[in-house]
Structure 1
Amino acid sequence: MSYNVSFISLGCAKNQVNCEQMMALCAEAGYSIQAQPEGCDVVVVNTCGFLASACEEAIENILEMAELKKAGQVKKILVTGCMTQRYKEDIFHELPEVDGLLGTGSYGDIATAIAEVMEKGEKPCHLGNIHTANQSGERILSTPPWYAYLRIAEGCDNHCAYCVIPSLRGKYRSRPMNELLDEAAELASAGVKELIVIAQDITRYGTDLNGEHQLAKLLKELCKLDFHWIRLHYLYPTDTTDELIDVIASEPKIVKYLDIPIQHCNDTILKAMNRRDTKADLLALLKKLREKVPGLVLRTSLIAGLPYEDDAAFEELCDFLREVRIERAGVFPFSPEDGTKAALMEHVDMEEAQRRAELAVDVQSDIIDAYNDSILGEEREVLCEGYDSQAQMFYGRSYAESPDIDGRIWFTADSEITPGSFVNVRLTGTMDGETTGELV
């Protein structure tokens, strides 16, 4: 039987890759993929379950689909992903509108689950082994045609005290290099110009296969393929080796933009959170990166209100930001997540954590504004992503902006520019934390 299936993917890019694999499995089974949920047989909500706020967003999406189901516009609702893995017992109980579940170890069962729910009237619940689930497989890309993600590993072995990822995604498993190079070659031949290398921690790549860090070797091979840009997401400070830094510095295709989540800088907090670095380590690494990689733009994630963060430790974090001047930072209030060690430790209340996060964002805003002012007059290579008729401007990204995370560059041009093409833009101004310019 052929069914119309629609997908909603929430959360991170790693989750998006799972969704792309599920779409390919459905197409292979003869099902039709449709963009809008209205009028489809099955809607699949692929959830994030990393934080309580992500679970709330997932529940809102499920309830929206339940309304469509009630109105007869959707027949069945399947829920997949991290929230399913985390709260499997509760979902059927709390959300009776849901017709079936797939955990993070069972993405490969999507076509079977659709048949079970449509043909047999069953309520499938597939919860495979999260430590051994297959990571490879065909994908139907859901990104614009000019960029795509390459997920090089699954799971995480870092076990930070505040994080549930290891319990949702399993132990760290690198994908074989030959498999990754084949997949990357296919993406390049499909016209992908920007390859974004992702994993929960890309710096650990290969260490579970033979004990050696192999990211540098993988990147050298990827640079031989026909990509214009290669972007790296989530480098763990401790595993950022000198060999890796040299490859990043010397390979022109690797964009000089690194996402290194540090979470905090206070030594007591870092130790309590089971991070393997100290403030001195972080300062030394950032200094080395700045020296070796000219023009480097750094992004990080920070958590305000972590256990052991008193006023002095928070002030230390703000001073650290002012000193190291990381160009891009996502600041989040501490969320005590069920099942984590940090949730059992003493910490400030949510309101105070939120207040501190907002103060850190203010510090960061000044840094971003100063950075934007410092690059005015420069020419930047920009990947054009579209035209906004309201603003009457084109928009795109340079090496310094990652998709869906950072801002855009807005620019004027006399002629039509095709989305997905690279152009040179002279930066002339700023607007709400983003830069503006004109085609050179």
Structure 2
Amino acid sequence: MQNPATSTRVYLASLGCARNQIDSEWMLGRLQRSGAVLVDEPGQADAIVVNTCSFIEAAADESIDTILQLARYKQTGACRRLIVTGCLPERYRQEIVGAIPEVDLFLGTGAFDRIAEAVAGTLCASRCILPDPDTLPVAGADEPRQRALSSMAYLKIAEGCSRRCTYCIIPKLRGRQKSRDAEDIVAEARQLLHSGVKELVLVSQDTTAYGHDGSGAVDLARLLDSLARLTADSRGECAPDEPADFWIRFLYGHPESIDDAVIQIVAKHANLCEYFDVPIQHAADRVLRKMGRRYSRSDLHRLIDRIREQIPEAAIRTTVIVGFPGETEKDFETLLRFIEEIRFDHLGCFTYSDAADLASHRLGGHVAEAVAAERMDAVMYCQAGISAGNNRRYLGRSLPVLVENCVERGLYACRTAFQAPEVDGTTLVRAGSLKPGCFQQVRITEAETYDLMGVPE
């Protein structure tokens, strides 16, 4: 019998983080397998899917704006069905149905595997399908995944989060942590490498807690060891000191679970990027306690010292939140001094985003938005000087870069091992011709605040 989704033209808009992007790629893979035709323009689509984010208020607003913009194609285009998936319906399940009548169907995070039925219109009459997020399926290597052509691929190693940070809604949206089987992750990594991927970026809500959920998986250090030994050709495995033709990095490492085993594995393998993404969120002990972060400023100092003792040139990225309820001027000064002391290579700063369904909403001492914005500006001004100084140390050095794309004639956007995709700076290389998706040795000639410039060697 012919699949009901056959020949349906589908446009999918993906919002939010890298983890959401992977969910979108899995949904696109299922749709393509069902016979749907994927299109690049919403005006061409019979069905439009919006995979949403609602982690903070700004993300929820962007999701709603995108839904309403795309809903116009039900009047002006070919669109017959508008489907909203992901975190927005999961978070606002009570209010969402009546608030946006233009939407034909809402699918929660636990219903991504129903997307082909949703597009085909063969699901039940209910406009809202929101299974318990703890049942959210963790797609495996055999799950079809429709990726945009790129030399980099995100690789999701777990789903959900079992921590209880007071400012975070993720456990409600995604359920408890569920680690993927290590062999399945390695199998997907091998597929990606054979397809031409040159950088694997491991992600989850809490990457360094991989395997801690009692799922039978190995821990992150052993997973990294297995992945680092892969090669992109038929030779099978390579030795730790043997040059490999791809990079691996991991993002979203929790300070509490970055142990010596992980640091030592990164130091051991040449193709594991000496790069640690360590979102500290704050450095004042009283704010950390209010956030539900079970470590202190001293613990953070010791962790970063351990990383730098074992890997002197490690790049360390972090994110911080300012304006958290109860944050005093003294707390903020503590954070600012800590940033100055540590001299992070990369730093992202956010103002606290309040919502009634957060535990932190019930805390006293809410900080005025204008004050929080001033504090964010001060953090980023401080970090700009640090980043500029850190970048100057690369002047004159020869570094391998991954060529990503041609920006303009004779100018290529590339990344070093200490520049993660999408969140860090880039290395711009002036050259007659470079091949995207290949590694190139480059001599650094200029250093700006966040970016580098270089020429091929």
The answer, yes or no, to whether TM exceeds 0.5 is: yes
Matched-pair contact (CA < 8 Å) for 2:73–2:79: yes
Q: CA deviation at 1:275?
A: 0.4
Where 1:411 maps in the other structure, the secondary structure is strand
Of 211-220 and 187-196, more deviation after overlay is shown by 211-220
Q: 2:131 aligns with which of 118, 128, 131?
A: 128
- Once the two structures are superposed, residues 43-63 of structure 1 have per-residue CA deviations (whole angstroms, 9 ceiling, x without a partner) of 110001100000011111111
Is 2:145 aligned against 1:140? Answer: yes
Q: 2:358 aligns with which of 340, 345, 356?
A: 340
Is 2:82 aligned against 1:65? Answer: no
1:170 maps to 175
> What aligned pairs does 1:8-87 form with structure 2 within 5 A after superposition?
8-87=13-92
> What aligned pairs does 1:26-425 form with structure 2 within 5 A after superposition?
26-116=31-121, 122=125, 124-137=127-140, 138-209=143-214, 214-226=219-231, 228-346=246-364, 347-389=366-408, 392-414=410-432, 416-425=433-442
Of 169-178 and 222-231, more deviation after overlay is shown by 222-231
Matched-pair contact (CA < 8 Å) for 1:100–1:125: yes
Q: CA deviation at 1:372?
A: 1.2
Query: Pairwise CA RMSD of aligned residues?
Result: 1.7
Which TM-score applies when normalising by structure 2?
0.92
- Once the two structures are superposed, residues 68-107 of structure 1 have per-residue CA deviations (whole angstroms, 9 ceiling, x without a partner) of 2221343221100111100123222121111111000100
Unaligned runs of 5+ in 2: 232-244
In 1, the alpha carbon distance for the partners of 2:43 and 2:400 equals 40
Of 93-102 and 65-74, more deviation after overlay is shown by 65-74
Matched-pair contact (CA < 8 Å) for 2:394–2:447: no
Q: CA deviation at 1:244?
A: 1.2
In 2, the alpha carbon distance for the partners of 1:270 and 1:169 equals 23
Where 1:436 maps in the other structure, the secondary structure is strand
In 2, the alpha carbon distance for the partners of 1:386 and 1:215 equals 31
In 2, the alpha carbon distance for the partners of 1:101 and 1:159 equals 27
Q: CA deviation at 1:354?
A: 1.3
Task: Name the CA shift for 1:432/1:63 in 2 (closer, same or farther; >3 Å).
Answer: farther
Task: Name the CA shift for 1:163/1:38 in 2 (closer, same or farther; >3 Å).
Answer: same
In 1, the alpha carbon distance for the partners of 2:126 and 2:70 equals 17
Of 10-19 and 135-144, more deviation after overlay is shown by 135-144
Task: Name the CA shift for 1:36/1:432 in 2 (closer, same or farther; >3 Å).
Answer: farther
In 1, the alpha carbon distance for the partners of 2:131 and 2:216 equals 27
Count of residue pairs brought into register by the alignment: 436
Is 2:446 aligned against 1:429? Answer: yes
- Once the two structures are superposed, residues 261-289 of structure 1 have per-residue CA deviations (whole angstroms, 9 ceiling, x without a partner) of 10000011111111011000000000110
In 1, the alpha carbon distance for the partners of 2:386 and 2:216 equals 39
Identity in percent: 36
2:234 maps to none
Letter in 2 for 1:134: P
Where 2:214 maps in the other structure, the secondary structure is helix
Letter in 2 for 1:323: E
In 2, the alpha carbon distance for the partners of 1:73 and 1:29 equals 20
1:438 maps to 455
In 1, the alpha carbon distance for the partners of 2:123 and 2:298 equals 60
Q: CA deviation at 1:431?
A: 4.2
- Once the two structures are superposed, residues 334-389 of structure 1 have per-residue CA deviations (whole angstroms, 9 ceiling, x without a partner) of 11122111111122112211111111111111111111112111111111111122
Matched-pair contact (CA < 8 Å) for 2:388–2:449: no
Task: Name the CA shift for 1:360/1:230 in 2 (closer, same or farther; >3 Å).
Answer: same
Matched-pair contact (CA < 8 Å) for 1:204–1:213: no
In 2, the alpha carbon distance for the partners of 1:289 and 1:185 equals 29
Where 1:105 maps in the other structure, the secondary structure is helix
Task: Name the CA shift for 1:24/1:212 in 2 (closer, same or farther; >3 Å).
Answer: closer
Matched-pair contact (CA < 8 Å) for 1:109–1:126: no
Task: Name the CA shift for 1:233/1:143 in 2 (closer, same or farther; >3 Å).
Answer: farther
In 2, the alpha carbon distance for the partners of 1:368 and 1:276 equals 28
Of 416-425 and 126-135, more deviation after overlay is shown by 126-135
Q: CA deviation at 1:238?
A: 0.9
Which TM-score applies when normalising by structure 1?
0.95
In 1, the alpha carbon distance for the partners of 2:355 and 2:265 equals 37
Where 1:21 maps in the other structure, the secondary structure is helix
Where 2:88 maps in the other structure, the secondary structure is helix
In 1, the alpha carbon distance for the partners of 2:405 and 2:293 equals 40
In 2, the alpha carbon distance for the partners of 1:435 and 1:95 equals 45
Matched-pair contact (CA < 8 Å) for 1:203–1:213: no
In 2, the alpha carbon distance for the partners of 1:220 and 1:368 equals 31
